[in-house]
Amino acid sequence: MAPDVTTPPAGGTALPPRPAGQRSVLQRVLATRESSVIGALLVSILAASLLVDGFASGRNSGFLILDIAAIALIALPMTLVIVTGEIDLSVASTLGLTSAVMGQLWVIGLPLETIAVLCLVLGALLGAVNGLLVTVAGLPSLAVTIGTMAMYRGLAYVILGDQAVADFPFSWTGGATARLSGTPIPWIALLIIVLAVVFGLLLHATPFGRSLYAIGSNDEAARFSGIPVLRTKLVLFIASGTVASLAGVFWTLQYGSARADNAFGLELSVVAAVLLGGVSIFGGKGALLGVLGGVLLLGTIRNALQLADVSSDMLSIVTGTLLVVSVVLPNAIERVRARRRTAEPPS
Amino acid sequence: MTGVSATQAPVAEHGGNGAVRTGRRIRQVRELGILLALVLLVAITTLTNPNFLSSQSVRDLLLGATLLTILAVGQSMVIITRNVDLSVGSTLGLSAFATGTLFVSLPALPIPVVALAGVLVGTVCGAVNGALVAAARVPALVVTLGTLYAFRGIGHWWAAGEQINAADMPDTFLGLGRVAVLNIPAPALIALAVVLTAGWYLGSYRSGRELYAVGSDPQAARLVGIPVDRRVFFPFVVNGSLAGLAGVLYAARFGTLDATVGTGLELEVVAAAVVGGVAIFGGSGTVYGAALGAMLLTTIGAALPMLRVDPFWQQAVVGLLIIVAIGLDRLLVLRAARRLRGGESRGA
Amino acid sequence: MTDRPPAAPPPLSLVGVAKSFGMVNALQGVSLELRAGEIHALCGENGAGKSTLVKTIAGVHRPDEGRIEVDGAPTEFASPADAQRAGVAVIYQEPTLFPDLSVAENIFMGRQPLSRGRRIDRTAMYAATDRLFARLGVRIAPERPARGLSIADQQLVEIAKAMSFDARVLIMDEPTAALSGTEVERLFSVARSLRDQGAAVLFISHRFDEVFALCDRITVMRDGRYISTDPVAELTVDTVVRRMVGREVNTLFPKQDTERGEVLLEVDGLTRAGVFSDVGFDVRAGEIVALAGLVGAGRSEVVRAVFGIDRYDFGTVRVAGAALPQGRPAAAMAAGIALVPEDRRQQGLVMEMSIERNATLTRRSALSRFGLLSRRSEEKAAEVWADRLQLKAGHLTDAVSTLSGGNQQKVVLAKWLATRPRVLIVDEPTRGIDVGTKAEVHRLLSHLAGEGLAVLMVSSELPEVLGMADRVLVMHEGRITAELPRGEATEESVMYAATGHKEVA
């Protein structure tokens, strides 16, 4: 089969050897956004350990992990969604609605095992609604999920009003925050790690993951390459909804309280963490490791500031500034470099 | 085809008069649709509960819609250039608190000066956003998500847990909402002026039209010589100033101010613009539509209790409305495209 | 500005202009004189620096060295607005319209006629638009939005825009690619009348018949360098081509005769309301079938539907006898169809991705083991194809956007040939690529047919159609109007059918 073009080319062979100026693998790894986020994370952990009393204790790291658990979980599928160039702002409302449904079902008297399963199904359905509106109806996800954000939160209020259901059995609420035996690490950390590995492999090491980057960079070219763009996006929105309601179940048990306004505004924290982790809001770029770094960085700073008794206002300032700087800085560096080296190829 | 001239009619017909009408109709249909929905809602509510159109409740409704309308106008200008400003809630909060603080610390200052200072706080916030987006070329969603946190944090830091009460502010200022012309409260008149000025500017001035061009295709805008950066910067400043103005009006209306004022408002504002037909990816929509969208969202909130619907339904209804609105937009665009191309459509 | 004395300095000239992007020298010491009352052609292969030159004149790029002179006075264009003020109008290769705005606003953006108080005078703007279209002999409603205009109509709006400037210097960068014969003629008459009014016109095209029919002088560029400028009368197509390429080019269309095999692609009664109707044909193994016709005849739409990008209302598509489900490119690929699409940058490639990843994008699953991608096998697969197609690239890990148009097209071909297709559909396979690569692509297609592939080729270039195809199908307004075997396909018979006249014979 191999078509062999017989005439010799006029100039140049296919693959010249790597020129001397080529940066090494290590240099390239160090230049990525992930590594700068991880670097910032390590520095802030080090600084907090040295400067903040009580930060470096096992007990505290347990709290820290519980604190960021919901954000970490939701950020995983969110990364994949944003890599395809879409966004899901309804996650916190999905969490809230899950929580409200969970409370109401508990009041009715269903066993918690059944409730948990039903909640995950609910999350998948809510995600599917987003996904269908985006793919079948062809609506922009930013607008769709602002809509469903209001709608799901609204439904949560319809179901539970402004009451709270708080009489979950201790075996469950205590279980949610239980530590792995002999360690200060809560078991949820294990779940986060497992899911992170699953989503990480999915994004970086499978054909499916590769197609996400193609879709995010140019979804028309992706379609012309035989990638089922719409189905892929639908699957991601369903994953996002399911994980959001998993986080909802966990949140409800962790705080022992089902409320319609649980996790209000959390969507922006999740998006902030993902963007801080180096994922491009326009899609096509980003790595899961960076996102985990982003989540942990925000969690660490928050935890350290709380321990240091710095008023919580600084947290917002730091979060916001970090987010802006983390995007402005590489942009600025890139532009300075671009002025000196390749800007755009002549066509 | 290479060098072969085909024989055709001397004047080719390219999209005849039908196209003209279609082009115009979309825009009007969109805004008329919102207006119709609004009128329908008011009519039904009034039939159920005649109190709804009592002068007091109309005044309350207009006062309630004022802030959202002003914010939606500014937000629309930003969205039209294919950007978004998520920091408006925080900007409003900061400006409201600044207004209150000025009254407390410098009671001698005349009210207009304080109000102007409040607006200027917003202008500065808007300029920061605009500079970061236009000069540093950072996506607006990211920048304003960052400044949403930053401005709010500055507000908290400044307020340090303090609260400003109505007693700290002059009565004339607090009475602004009770001043009325033809039973229309003064703040609503201010909002009306803002809508008309912005609409007039966007529709009739070169630089206004250029905002649409920038949002429609930034690359092409550069090529035709439009100063894109300036056209991106400017709406952020206007939007910041309007958020500042809304902050001042908030202070006057509610009298009680702390650092949490305006929290979570940003997505409601974007929703109002989107419901009003401003396309989230820029290039189309009007501030009149956005203002109607804001009115509609506010009216729903006011009408539900009158219709004896559980007020907990409000948010769900608003969410549904947003989705219906963008779905309708999409449908109109698709239908128009089909008509314009004579049935051809090339898939997404 | 009409009656300039002949001794007047040229309205625009470039003196020793150089421009580089990083390591790439796009322009080196280019001098060019655009004289009033003259149509000047600029010829060069893709990557010769023509587009960079245009963008320099348009004020998009600033020269690193050298200068631009307007009426003999050195001038600096800091932005496109500066160039426009100096009377330079540009029609770019790709239409740059605002889809949401009206046609009239697209033409007059930033220069709308004003009434009192600096308000835009819409009535005057629409009237002026109507006048412009009247000069072009077309009727496009000024108030309609630009969204939904055909490519040809978009190009006409661009031309009207350039005319509205009353430009002293008009640059046309491949304006005819999407236009039909009549429209090209009208464009030429406009260009001539502008010339006669004393404007300087720079015309860029890959179509030599157009260049020789329209222009007064021809400048040739190669590899970013100025090569020559001569009056048209002193040049032949061969000379120009030789200067562009810098070497002799042997025959462009080397289709060899091949054995015909079984029918591999069968299309029957394919209909999509308003786009194409009752399209039926088959393609045999070893055969190259061309789908000819004017732009907008529905050819690309047909192949998109065959491949499953778009849906259709009626009809069937069969590959080697087996029916293909519609709307599923993945199923088409599994059945052995490959589609090299019309728009390389938008549809063929993911420009930000590396060459390697683009080349293996269609074989993601085949190259993975236990569901996981293997870098090593991807690398190897890409290297094999880069080698076979003689890709000229620095590193396969570089973004595909760093390649020239011709090499980008090779990546698209690699990406599809790697799927080992039985049916290869190519849509405008040589559009916008240089003469040298063009010949390579033609040789490759011929070679592939020789190996038993069924090749379906959509092409707007008549010489390519006539040179390459065993059979020519001609489409007009969504229908197949003629099927011509190689012996009967001539420029006349194809054009006859393409303009809607049923073949009598």
**Range B307-316 average pLDDT:** 83
Pair C431, C495 in one domain: yes
C138 touches B at CB < 8 Å: yes
- Contact criterion met (CB below 8 Å) for C176 and C93: no
Is the pLDDT assigned to residue A53 strictly greater than 90?
no
Instruction: Report the pLDDT value the prediction gives residue A115, as an integer from 0 to 100.
Output: 95
pLDDT score of C496: 78
- Kindly report the nearest CA distance between residue A37 and chain B, in angstroms: 16
Looking at the partner chain, which of A5, A18, A226 has a beta carbon nearest the beta carbon of C444? Answer: A5
Residues 6+ apart with CB under 8 A from C225: C28, C29, C30, C49
Exposed e or buried b per residue across B320-344, where buried means at least 16 C-beta atoms within 10 angstroms of its C-beta: bbbbebbbbbbebbeebbbbbbeeb
pLDDT of residue A259: 93
Q: Which pLDDT does position C252 carry in this prediction?
A: 56
pLDDT at C483 over 90: yes
Final residue in a domain of this structure, among C182, C217, C245:
C245
Phi, psi of A310 (to 5 degrees): -75, 135
The answer on C377 and C306 residing in a single domain is: no
CB atoms C98 and B206 under 8 Å: no
Q: How confident is the model at residue A198 (pLDDT cuts 50, 70, 90)?
A: very high
Asked if C366 and C459 sit in the same domain, the reply is no
Q: Looking at the structure, do residues C496 and C471 belong to the same domain, yes or no?
A: yes
pLDDT in the model for residue A28 = 62
Residue A6 banded pLDDT, cuts 50, 70, 90: very low
Measured CA distances, B161 to B97, B157, B260 (Å): 12, 8, 10
One-letter amino acid at B66 equals T
The DSSP line for A148-177 is HHHHHHHHHHHHHTT-EE----HHHHHHHT
Confidence of residue A1 (pLDDT cuts 50, 70, 90): very low
Q: Where are the beta strands (DSSP E) in C285-427?
A: 288-293, 314-319, 322-323, 337-340, 368-369, 372-373, 423-427
Residue A128: pLDDT over 50: yes
Q: Name the pairing type of β-strands C88-91 and C169-173.
A: parallel
pLDDT for residue C182 is more than 90: no
More confident residue, C304 or C100: C304
Of residues C54 and A238, the one with the higher pLDDT is A238
Residues 210-249 of A with CB under 8 A from C: 210-211, 213-214, 217-218, 220-228
Residue C25 has pLDDT above 80, yes or no: no
Lowest mean pLDDT among A37-41, A190-194, A244-248: A37-41
What is the rounded CA–CA span in Å between residue A88 and residue C437? 45
Quick check: B316 and A150 CB within 8 A? yes
Residue B348 has pLDDT above 60, yes or no: no
**Residues C259, C166 within the same domain:** no
For chain C, what is the mean pLDDT?
A: 86
Work out the average pLDDT over C195-203: 90
**Contact B142/A149, CB-based, under 8 Å?**
no
Same domain as C91, residue C197:
yes
The model's pLDDT over B53-85, given as tens digits with 9 standing for 90+, comes to 887 888 888 888 999 999 999 999 999 999 999
| pLDDT for position C60 | 87
Count of structural domains, chain C: 3
Calculate mean pLDDT across residues C32-47.
Answer: 86
pLDDT > 60? residue C477: yes
Chains that touch C (3 or more CB pairs under 8 A): A, B
Residue with tokens 């409740």: B57
Is it the case that residue C94 has pLDDT exceeding 90? Answer: no
Q: Does any domain span residue C456?
A: yes
H or E element at residue B23: helix B17-48
Q: What is the ipTM of this complex?
A: 0.80
Q: Which residues of A touch B323 (CB under 8 A)?
A: 133, 139, 144, 147-148, 151
pLDDT, residue A9, reads 36
Please give the backbone phi and psi of residue C479, each rounded to the nearest 5 degrees, phi first.
-125, 150
- What confidence category does residue A11 fall into, taking pLDDT thresholds of 50, 70 and 90? very low
Answer whether residue A29 shows pLDDT above 70. no
Give the confidence band of B281 by pLDDT, cuts at 50, 70, 90. Answer: confident
Name the residue among B220, B227, B342 with its Cβ closest to that of C98: B220
* pLDDT above 90 (res B328): no
Q: Does A61 touch chain B (CB under 8 A)?
A: no
Closest residue in chain C to residue A228, using alpha carbons only: C330
Phi-psi bin for C67: left (phi > 0), alpha (psi -120 to 50), beta?
A: beta
Interface of A with C in 6-35 (CB under 8 A): 6-7, 9-16, 18, 22
CB contact under 8 A, B337 and C274: no
Q: What is the pLDDT of residue A233?
A: 97
Looking at the DSSP assignment, which residues form a beta bridge with residue C471? C289, C485
Mean pLDDT of chain A: 85
Taking contacts as CB-CB distances below 8 angstroms, the residues of chain C near B3 are 181, 207, 209-210, 213, 462
Contact status, residue C324 vs residue C318, Cβ threshold 8 Å: yes
The H or E element spanning position C118 is: none
Query: Are B132 and A324 within 8 A, CB to CB?
Result: yes
Give yes or no for a contact between C109 and B224, defined as CB atoms under 8 angstroms apart: yes
Interface list for B 271-310 with A (CB within 8 A): 271, 274, 280-281, 310
Are A201 and C372 spatial neighbours (Cβ–Cβ below 8 Å)? Answer: yes
Residues of B in contact with C185 (CB under 8 A): 5
Averaged pLDDT, B239-255: 94
Residue C8 has pLDDT above 90, yes or no: no
> Are B258 and B159 within 8 A, CB to CB?
yes
pLDDT level of residue C248 (50, 70, 90 thresholds):
low
Q: Enumerate residues 423 to 482 of chain C having a beta carbon within 8 A of any beta carbon in chain B.
A: 460-463
Contacts of C332 in chain A (CB under 8 A): 226
Structural domains of chain B, ranges and CATH numbers in brackets:
36-335 (1.10.3470)
Quote the pLDDT of residue A342. 45
| B194 or B64, which is more confident | B194
| pLDDT per position as a tens digit, A151-166 | 999 999 999 988 899 9
Whether residue C107 contacts residue C129, with contact meaning beta carbons closer than 8 Å, is answered with yes
Element (H, E) at A201: helix A187-205
Question: For the residues A108-126, what does the mean pLDDT come to?
Answer: 95
pLDDT digits (tens, 9 = 90+) for C388-405: 888 887 788 888 888 877
Residues C410 and C426 in one domain: no
Contact between B222 and C119 using a beta-carbon 8 Å cutoff: no
| Confidence band of B13 (pLDDT split at 50, 70, 90) | very low
Q: Flag the least confident range among B30-34, B153-157, B167-171, C300-304.
A: B30-34
Closest CA–CA distance from residue C33 to any residue of chain A (Å): 22
Chain C interface, best mutation among B224, B332, B339, by max C CB count within 10 A: B224
What span, in angstroms and rounded, lies between the C-alpha atoms of C326 and C76? 56
Q: Do B340 and C60 lie within an 8 Å CB cutoff?
A: no
DSSP-derived letter for residue C400 is G
- Which H/E stretch holds residue C269? strand C263-272
- Check if A198 contacts C (Cβ < 8 Å): no
Predicted local distance difference test score (pLDDT) of residue B322: 86
Chain C residues 294-323 with a CB less than 8 Å from chain A = 309
Which residues of chain B make contact with C339, given a CB cutoff of 8 A?
none
Tell me the C-alpha distance between A300 and A329, whole Å.
22
Question: What are A246-257's pLDDT values in tens digits?
Answer: 999 999 999 999
C294 and C409 in a common domain: no
Name every chain C residue with its beta carbon within 8 A of the beta carbon of A222. 350
Q: Higher-confidence residue: B80 or B314?
A: B80
Q: What percent of chain A clears pLDDT 70, i.e. is strictly above it?
A: 87
Q: Which domain holds residue C490?
A: 250-336+421-505
More confident residue, C167 or B269: B269
Question: Which residue of A5, A16, A218 is in closest CB contact with C390?
Answer: A5
Residue type, C261: G
Task: Please give the structure tokens belonging to residue C491.
Answer: 């420029």
| Higher per-residue confidence, B306 vs A152 | A152
Q: Give the strand pairing for C314-319 and C263-272.
A: antiparallel
Within this chain, do residues C359 and C391 fall inside the same structural domain, yes or no?
yes
Give CA separation, C52 vs C25, C155, C228, in Å: 10, 20, 18
Question: Does residue C103 lie within any of the structural domains?
Answer: no
Q: Same domain, yes or no, for C270 and C318? A: yes
C462 and C332 within one domain: yes
Same domain, C34 and C182: yes
Instruction: DSSP letter for C503, please.
Output: P
| Residues of B whose CB is below 8 A from C141 | 14-17, 19-20, 23
Alpha-carbon distance A322 to nearest alpha carbon in chain B (angstroms) = 8
Q: How far apart are CA C42 and CA C116, in angstroms?
A: 44
* Cα of B193 to nearest chain C Cα, Å: 19
The alpha carbon of residue C80 is apart from the nearest alpha carbon of chain A, in Å, by 18
Percent over 90 (pLDDT), chain C = 35
Of A139, A316, A335, the CB nearest to B149: A316
pLDDT tens readout for residues C254-312: 667 777 889 999 999 999 988 899 999 999 999 999 999 877 788 999 999 999 999 99
| Domain presence at residue C104 | no
Choose the final residue of a domain: C211, C245, C279.
C245
Q: What's residue B26's pLDDT?
A: 53
CB B236 within 8 A of CB B78: yes
Beta-carbon neighbour count of residue A59 at 10 Å? 10
Q: Tell me, what CATH number does C436's domain have?
A: 3.40.50.300
- Average pLDDT over chain B reads 84
pTM: 0.84
Q: Is residue C16 part of a domain?
A: yes
More confident residue, C48 or A301: A301
**DSSP letters for C52-74:** HHHHHHTTSS--SEEEEEETTEE
- Region C131-151 average pLDDT: 84
| Higher pLDDT among residues A5 and C343, named by residue | C343
Which residue from C minimizes the CA distance to A19? C394
Could you tell me which residue, A85 or C175, shows the higher pLDDT? A85
Task: Give pLDDT tens digits for C215-239.
Answer: 999 999 887 889 999 999 998 888 8
Q: Which residues of A touch B322 (CB under 8 A)?
A: 143, 146-147, 150-151
> According to the model, what pLDDT value does residue A14 have?
37
